[in-house]
Amino acid sequence: MNVIMPETWPQTPAAAIALQQALRSRVVCHDDLSPTVQFVAGVDVGFESGGTITRAAVVVLEFPSLQLVDYALKKQPTTFPYIPGLLSFREIPAVLTALAALTITPDLILCDGQGLAHPRRLGIACHLGLLVNCPTIGVAKSRLIGRHAELPLDKGAWAPLQDGEETIGAVLRSRTGTRPLYISPGHRISLPTALHYVQGCTPKYRLPETTRLADRLASNRSRLPPLKPVNIDVDAQSGNQSD
């Protein structure tokens, strides 16, 4: 995947917040993605050595079959502290390195974190989407901000997530009887379309297959399924590599 690395990166919380405020108006919350999404990616980030090393895993699945077609795992020193609301500044540098190692460029990226459902409307999905100019969705396991009505326990039930009078996402019951997910547009996608693709990537478990496989790669808990061969026109080296 062609990724242009930022020339500079904020080193303080004040600088990071200022950048979020500057970027928030550039986020596109209507559909600007391929009418035929063929490849969806999932991103998972973890830390090693007491948080000093960031480990970013990216998987690419064919859609709608959800078969694995590409993956990358990259590690690098952590350069930003853990601060709620500034997750992207801690995680994105390693994520960009992993995305750059992919052979197959995804049409859509599902991020394990917030998108628009963020105090400054610039969660990690928004920030990453702007940096790589790719449609992104925030798929969070917990709520950062907003309120919502009580959900039925049935799979597929959802309700708007609101902050004041603004709808900033949706609360989705992805599996009957489990805790909901918090879905919000990241970049170049609308909320209804984001819900459509998250549900399409979540056939059985609570989490999307993109997130589950990225977490499996990052944690090395179990082997990934075999890669499905796909016919693509590439002249770059294979992205299924790790450090």
Q: What is the pLDDT of residue 242?
A: 45
Structure-block tokens of residue 50: 């007491």
* Tens digit of each residue's pLDDT (9 = 90 or more) over 11-66: 999 999 999 999 999 999 999 999 999 999 999 999 999 999 999 999 999 999 99
Q: Is residue 144 part of a domain?
A: yes
Which residues make beta-bridge pairs with 109? 41, 136
Residues in the chain with pLDDT values less than 70: 233-243
Query: CA 79 → CA 8, 132, 162, 169, 200, distances in Å?
Result: 12, 20, 33, 30, 35
Q: Is residue 65 part of a domain?
A: yes
Q: What is the pLDDT of residue 238?
A: 39
User: What's the CATH code of the domain at 207?
Assistant: 3.30.2170.10
Q: Is residue 133 part of a domain?
A: yes
Q: Is residue 235 part of a domain?
A: no
Q: What is the pLDDT of residue 205?
A: 97
Q: What is the pLDDT of residue 232?
A: 73
Q: Is residue 212 part of a domain?
A: yes
| Total structural domains within the chain | 1
Q: Is residue 237 part of a domain?
A: no
Q: What is the pLDDT of residue 233?
A: 59
Q: Report which residue type is found at 91.
A: E
- Closest to 112 measured CA to CA, from 57, 68, 166, 64: 57
Does the N-terminal peptide bond of residue 119 adopt cis geometry, omega within 30 degrees of 0? no
Q: Report which residue type is found at 240.
A: N
Q: Is residue 7 part of a domain?
A: no
Q: Is residue 231 part of a domain?
A: no
Contact by Cβ (8 Å): 98, 72: yes
Range of the domain at 88: 28-219
Whole-structure pTM value: 0.93
First to last CA, the chain: 17
